Amino acid sequence: MATSRAPFAHSSEAELARLFDFYRIPWQYEPRSFPIVWNEQGRPVEFFTPDFYLPEYDLYIEVTVAKPVRNTRKNRKLRLMRSHHPSVNVKLFTRRDVERVFSRLRRAS
Amino acid sequence: MIGDPLFDAESIAGRVAAIGEAISRDYAGETPLMIGLLAAAATFMADLARAVTIPCQLDFIAVNKCYDGDGITLEKDAAIPVEGRHVILVDDTVDTGLTLQYVVKRLLERGPASLAVCTLLDRPHRRIADVEIKYRAFEVPDVFVVGYGLDYLGRYRELPALYAHGSWPA
């Protein structure tokens, strides 16, 4: 199992890692980049790197801390990702999603 | 902080009756063991048990979800042995599915004859663990729900209907 000490880009990623640790779910941080845009020569020029991979569920999770109105760039990447890699499961978690998951844990504690 | 019910008492009673009927049909000739997740599922489980028309046994378990500790654990275990039994795990809300999956795994380790999941609320927005739900009363959007056993910081469990709370606990 990975630990919560990976060099996370922001606190919501660290929180989500703590959640996975809490449930003892193996996770990997940014283990793979997927090409999403190619140039005319067929070489990949843009990639999408989901934040987490959960091997147990074969699921990638991308965490966004931007407000929904500013998510245009990330949504475009996700759209391209799903279009070019339809068999890869990717789920988007917003900062609000992370907060709400933890609010349920605190509520029960 | 709460307004009109998302689901009033009559709607809840209708769904509970329908699930009770389905369980009675699916487990005809058996005596299923219904295990409720404390504390929020207690109200749902009590009504569901009375809606089932076949013999069944009831038990409860609880998980420790204080995430500052050593991770999720069973805080209270079932008293009735699970091995060889047809188990129906009764939950209040399936969100990420992670808690439910933890409990399902713990129960499956004990060799039940079968295990089915029944939930009052299914909130699939943040689902991570894709646990099969055999019986669900309601699917809800991404709102915090109180009443009918579900609380907000210990309040509202006694309400007979389900309400959307205006905020999530901070």
The number of C-alpha atoms within 13 Å of B47 and in the hemisphere containing its C-beta is 23
pLDDT at residue number A103: 75
**Considering CB atoms only, which of A18, A54, A105 is closest to B128?**
A54
Between CA B8 and CA B126 the distance in angstroms is 25
Q: What is the pLDDT of residue A109?
A: 41
Task: List, in order, residues 6 or more apart from B45 with CB less than 8 Å away.
Answer: B34, B36, B58, B60, B90
d(CA B22, CA B114): 16
pLDDT in tens, B94-131: 999 999 999 999 999 999 999 999 999 999 988 999 89
What's the pLDDT score for residue B57?
97
Percent of chain B with pLDDT strictly greater than 90:
76
| pTM for this entry | 0.86
With left for phi above 0 and alpha for psi between -120 and 50, is residue A91 left, alpha or beta?
Answer: beta
pLDDT in tens, A40-63: 999 999 999 999 999 999 999 998
The B73-76 sheet, strands edge to edge:
B73-76, B57-64, B33-37, B86-94, B114-122, B135-139
Q: What dihedral angle (degrees, nearest 10) is formed by the CA atoms of B35, B41, B42, B43?
A: -130
CA closest to A92 among chain B residues: B126
Cross-strand partners of B58: B34
Query: Between chains, do B65 and A104 touch, taking CB under 8 Å as contact?
Result: yes
Do residue A104 and residue B67 have CB atoms under 8 angstroms apart?
no
Residue B154 to residue B146: CA distance in whole angstroms: 10
